[in-house]
Amino acid sequence: MMLIGFIFTIVLTLYFAVVIFQGKLASKAWIKNINENDTETIEAAVQQAFEAWRRPKKNDNIPVADWASIETMEVKSVTKEKCRVSMISGPDIRIINSERKQVGDTVTVASRAAIMLAERLFFEVPFLNFDDVQIDVYELPNNDLASNNCIFTTQITRNQANVTDWDSYLDVESLTATLSLWNTRMLIDKDERIDPEINAILK
C-alpha cells in the first residue's frame, strides 16, 4: 500500500508539473504575440476578460442596469497600447414598493457603467497594460439597431486611471468629479448629437 501511495504521489506531482509548464509556455506565447502587436492575440485577451466580467456577480452596490450595460460591451478597435470599446445603456428601472419606477436616466447608467468598465480595462486584462482607453455608450430607442445614438463617450489615460477613485460611481457628486477629470462628453440636450469619432484614440 505504501508503494502504491508513493507511486500515486509521484504521478500526481508529474501531472501538475506538466500542467504548470504548459501554462508557462502558453503565457510566454501570449506575451510574445502581444509584444509583436499581434491584433488577433490582443483581441482574444480582451474578449476572454470580457467573458469573465459578464458572469453574474452578487454585489448590492451595482444596479442591474449597470451590469446589463457592461454585458453589452464590444471591442471597436485595440492595440497593445490603446483600447476602444462600446456599450449599450438603458434607464435604471427598479421595483420599489411593488411598483416599477425609473430612478436614473440612460446617461446616468452609462456614466456609472463606464467607470466600472474603465477600471477593468486598465487593471484586469491579462498580459495587457493599456496607455489609453476610450468608451463609447449608445442608446437603442425601440430596439432599432439602425437608429443607435451615442449618448456618452470618454477617454482615459493610464496616469488618470492610476489616481482615479474607482468607487466614485456610488454617488453622483463623486461620479461627476471623476468624469470631469477625464475627456468626457455626454448627452444633455435630446436634440444634441455626440460624434465619438472626433479625436478618437483609435478609428
pLDDT tens column, 77-119:
999 999 999 999 988 888 888 888 887 789 999 999 999 999 9
Virtual torsion, Cα 181, 52, 109, 83, nearest 10 deg: 40
* pLDDT of res. 25: 36
- On whether the CB atoms of residues 27 and 33 are closer than 8 A, the answer is no
* pLDDT of res. 177: 95
* pLDDT of res. 18: 38
For residue 177, give the C-alpha cell: 468629479
Virtual torsion, Cα 195, 198, 199, 203, nearest 10 deg: 80
Who wins on pLDDT, 122 or 27?
122
- On whether the CB atoms of residues 88 and 103 are closer than 8 A, the answer is no
Who wins on pLDDT, 155 or 3?
155
Other Cβ atoms closer than 10 A to 120: 17
Other Cβ atoms closer than 10 A to 159: 9
d(CA 203, CA 192): 22
Calculate Rg over the CA atoms of the chain. 21
Q: How confident is the model at residue 8 (pLDDT cuts 50, 70, 90)?
A: very low
The rounded mean pLDDT for the chain is 80
pTM across the whole model: 0.80
